[in-house]
Amino acid sequence: MENSGTIRIGNENFDFPIIEGIEGERALDTRTLRAKSGCITFDEGYGNTGSCLSEISFINGEKGILRHRGYPIEQLAEHSSFLETAYLVIYGQLPTADKLAAFCAEVRNHSSIHTGMRHHFEGFPSNAHPMAILSSMLNSLGAYYPEMSSNNREQDLAHFDESAALLISKVRTIAAMTFRMKQGLPFVFPDHSRRYAENFLHMMFSEPYNDYQDTSGASNALDLFLLLHADHEQNCSTSTVRMVASGGANLFASVSAGVCALWGPSHGGANMAVIKMLEEIHAAGDDGSRFIKDAKEGKAKLMGFGHRVYKNYDPRAKILGKSSERVLEGLGINDPLLDIAKHLERAALEDEYFVKRKLYPNVDFYSGILLKAIGIPVEMFTVMFAIGRMPGWIANWKEIAENSKSRIHRPRQVYTGSAIRDYLKVDER
Ligand code: ACO
């Protein structure tokens, strides 16, 4: 049958239905495999495993397509804003003008954090990594809103609209406070007259004697950066959020776990690693050619290149590449790292090693150059990714929490350790 598939194990055949997504992707529904056959599938890294049915984002990695709720990322990047796209990702529809205004007002009204939380910052050493602080603070935030973080799904969902707006707002305030604390600078209160991204830059860079003014379009570029990170299907951090949510944990705990998963250099931490790589190449007087040679010989990894799903250009990288150039031009910055990045990109796109493995620039390749130009310190780059990804994590938590049939995520394993041993046998020690 066209809509079923057969797995043959030994001499026995087992039939399974095929589930089809609306874009034609097909999945063999093996949920009854173990019960029928005693066998499980082994798919380390989950490259062939669909962990859920989801209505939020669609990626076609072969064609370089990304859509949120059906809207192509290119259209959203050109016409939408971060908060409008956040609303779309979370609620499934573009908001009317009234709904968007109400959502923005709710986000604005939640921008301050409880005074008690200011003391938490005093407990961190000034060399603490901002991602460690962010993850702790987001989980602590739940403690200040026990009615929204009850781990009772009905109750947490009843407060969902408020907790979603609150998190989108406060993640930005916590990020800016982290930067100020690490610099030994006093905290700056949010300014309700400013838009989302500009308010963040104000909380980062305003001084009592020098109010931050965006004269170069930095806040628009930052808004675009955040929009481009809003969601990305079942990536490592989003899958982590869903995993934590599947056990019934509240939204605050789930997104805090998402921050931890994002931190690693193979995931969100790559944006920091790209700048470090470009700076090292520059310091060594290389134009990128030597580094490419090392990458091909397995001595180095070209950070910001390659993706588990995209086997074509990451559409977000294309948009960010152009935007970085515009921002640097607008700010009158001549960054040699941009020239090295462009050279690396050209060289890699023509080199057989990268072409054969379908390794293209991903979103992190140009995002660091953009953030650096805006004045964000490298250590904060992955935090910026987390602010952008918050809507996607929230939407995925909601999808799990609203599904009364969702089961706890609990993969199996193939055990390869010692066979049974006897504690009382002395000669086994
Ligand atoms: N530089 C050089 N070679 C690479 C790179 C790279 N960046 N990425 C993959 N390869 C090579 C691998 O060594 C492998 O080669 P082989 O077939 O000779 O063994 C081949 O390409 C296939 O790579 P996989 O390891 O199968 O790719 P996987 O899907 O497991 O990993 C990942 C994807 C983690 C993104 C990887 O490409 C990588 O480490 N890239 C650099 C880090 C990075 O930019 N991460 C950000 C990802 S996007 C995001 O999370 C926002």
Report the C-alpha gap between 190 and 199 in whole angstroms: 6
Alpha-helical regions (H) of 186-335: 196-205, 218-228, 236-246, 251-262, 270-283, 289-296, 315-331
Report the C-alpha gap between 95 and 33 in whole angstroms: 42
**How many residues appear in the chain?**
429
Q: Which of 110, 202, 232, 307 is catalytic?
A: 307
CA 238 vs. chain centroid, Å, equals 7
CB neighbour class for 132 (10 Å; exposed up to 12, middle 13-18, buried from 19): middle
Asked which of 93-97, 360-364, 377-381 is least confident by mean pLDDT, the reply is 360-364
Residue 262 neighbours by CB distance under 10 Å: 25
**What is Dmax (Cα atoms) for the chain?**
80
Mean pLDDT of the chain: 94
394-407: b (≥16 Cβ within 10 Å) or e:
bbbbbbbbeeeebe
Which atom, in ligand 1's list, is nearest to the CA of 232?
51
Residue owning the nearest CA to atom 13 of ligand 1:
298
CATH of domain 72-268+380-402: 1.10.580.10
Residue owning the nearest CA to atom 46 of ligand 1:
267
At 256 the pLDDT is 98
Residue owning the nearest CA to atom 14 of ligand 1:
357
**Does 428 have pLDDT greater than 80?**
no
* pLDDT tens-digit map of 331-356: 888 888 888 988 888 888 899 999 99
- The kind and range of the H/E element at 390 are helix 381-401
Q: First CA to last CA across the chain, in angstroms? A: 57
Span from the CA of 200 to the centroid of ligand 1 (angstroms): 33
Probe ligand 1: pick from 301, 344, 384, max atoms within 8 Å of CB? 301
Beta carbons of 388 and 230 less than 8 angstroms apart: yes
* pLDDT tens-digit map of 215-232: 888 999 999 999 999 999
Which amino acid would we find at residue 426? V
What distances in angstroms separate CA 357 from CA 63, 304, 351, 352, 360, one per listed residue?
Answer: 15, 15, 10, 8, 9
Nearest to 300 by CA among 264, 352, 344, 261: 344
Which amino acid would we find at residue 221? A
Please report how the helices 270-283 and 289-296 are oriented relative to each other, as an axis angle in degrees rounded to 10: 120
What distances in angstroms separate CA 394 from CA 104, 177, 230, 250, 405, one per listed residue?
Answer: 16, 22, 10, 11, 19
At 400 the pLDDT is 98
Torsion of CA 177, 182, 183, 189, to 10 degrees: 10
State the average pLDDT over residues 397-402: 98
CATH of domain 4-50: 2.20.28
Transcribe 152-177 into DSSP letters.
-HHHHHHTHHHHHHHHHHHHHHHHHH
Class of the domain covering 270-374: mainly alpha
At 1 the pLDDT is 54
Ligand 1, pocket residues at CB < 6 Å: 235, 266-268, 270, 295, 301-308, 357, 359, 362-364
Which amino acid would we find at residue 100? L
Which two three-digit tokens encode residue 429?
């020690």
At 129 the pLDDT is 97
Which atom, in ligand 1's list, is nearest to the CA of 45?
30
Report the C-alpha gap between 4 and 288 in whole angstroms: 49
Residue owning the nearest CA to atom 11 of ligand 1:
357
At 269 the pLDDT is 87
Instruction: Kindly give the pairing relationship between strand 4-9 and strand 65-68.
Output: unpaired
What SS3 class is residue 387? helix
Residue 343 annotated as catalytic: no
Q: pLDDT class for 270, splitting at 50, 70, 90?
A: confident
Residue 287 annotated as catalytic: no
**Does 429 have pLDDT greater than 80?**
no
Probe ligand 1: pick from 73, 308, 352, max atoms within 8 Å of CB? 308
State the average pLDDT over residues 138-155: 97
* pLDDT tens-digit map of 207-266: 989 999 988 889 999 999 999 999 999 999 999 999 999 999 999 999 999 999 999 999
- Calculate ∠ Cα 115-121-124, nearest 5°: 160
Phi, psi of 402 (to 5 degrees): -80, -10
Residue owning the nearest CA to atom 3 of ligand 1:
301
Higher pLDDT, 344 or 134: 134
At 335 the pLDDT is 84
State the average pLDDT over residues 31-47: 96
Nearest to 136 by CA among 120, 115, 151, 113: 120
Span from the CA of 304 to the centroid of ligand 1 (angstroms): 9
Report the C-alpha gap between 416 and 106 in whole angstroms: 52
Which atom, in ligand 1's list, is nearest to the CA of 47?
29
**Token pair 């239905």 in the structure block, residue:** 17
Span from the CA of 370 to the centroid of ligand 1 (angstroms): 23
Instruction: Kindly give the pairing relationship between strand 57-60 and strand 26-28.
Output: unpaired
* pLDDT tens-digit map of 302-316: 998 998 888 888 999
Q: Which of 156, 214, 223, 364 is catalytic?
A: 364
Q: pLDDT class for 324, splitting at 50, 70, 90?
A: confident
Higher pLDDT, 252 or 323: 252
At 279 the pLDDT is 93
CA 64 vs. chain centroid, Å, equals 18
* Boundaries of every domain in the chain: 4-50, 72-268+380-402, 270-374
Beta carbons of 18 and 29 less than 8 angstroms apart: yes
